[in-house]
Amino acid sequence: MTPSCLRQLADDEGAKLLLLGMSQYRLAKVNSLIQQELSKFFCRELELPEGALLTIIDVKTTGDLKQTKIFVSIFPQSMTKKILFVLEKRAGFFQRFLNKKLKMYFVPRISFVLDNTENRAETIEDLLNKI
């Protein structure tokens, strides 16, 4: 295919599948589904301490669909360890919820990871402001 044909295909929604490849497309869909379902579940069912905020930042699933890392951001910083401990402790419960909700032969095993992107960005911004 010529580059102009590829550009034309990239504009088409169905072409994303062709350009990404089936496995990458499927991974993106699985990641999106897991993020959506857990977000809804956390809003309805997860009881957080008053004033705490939990956000799912990203979901990354391995190519073999066996493991999924769920990157979360927790505010305020003082509650990070406590809430992350609760998430890890209840991971089996969340896993069973996903097993029932997602129509997949094999649902990836989940684990939670604290996303420190905001903290690193704030540190860099502070350093740049000092210059």
Q: What pLDDT tens digit does each residue of the chain (131 aa) get?
A: 444 434 444 455 455 555 556 678 889 999 999 999 999 999 998 888 888 889 999 999 998 889 999 999 988 888 889 999 999 999 999 999 999 998 888 889 999 999 887 777 778 888 888 88
Q: Residue 82 and residue 89: Cα distance in Å, rounded?
A: 11
69: containing domain: 3-130
- Give me the number of domains the chain comprises: 1
Task: Compute the CA torsion angle 49, 52, 57, 58 (nearest 10 deg).
Answer: -10
Q: Residue 73 and residue 22: Cα distance in Å, rounded?
A: 30
Q: Residue 44 and residue 36: Cα distance in Å, rounded?
A: 13
Q: Residue 5 and residue 8: Cα distance in Å, rounded?
A: 5
Q: Quickly list H helices, 46-116.
A: 80-89, 91-101
User: Residue 117's domain is classified under what CATH number?
Assistant: 3.30.300.20
The one-letter amino acid code at 127 reads L
86 neighbors 45 (Cβ within 8 angstroms): no
pTM: 0.74
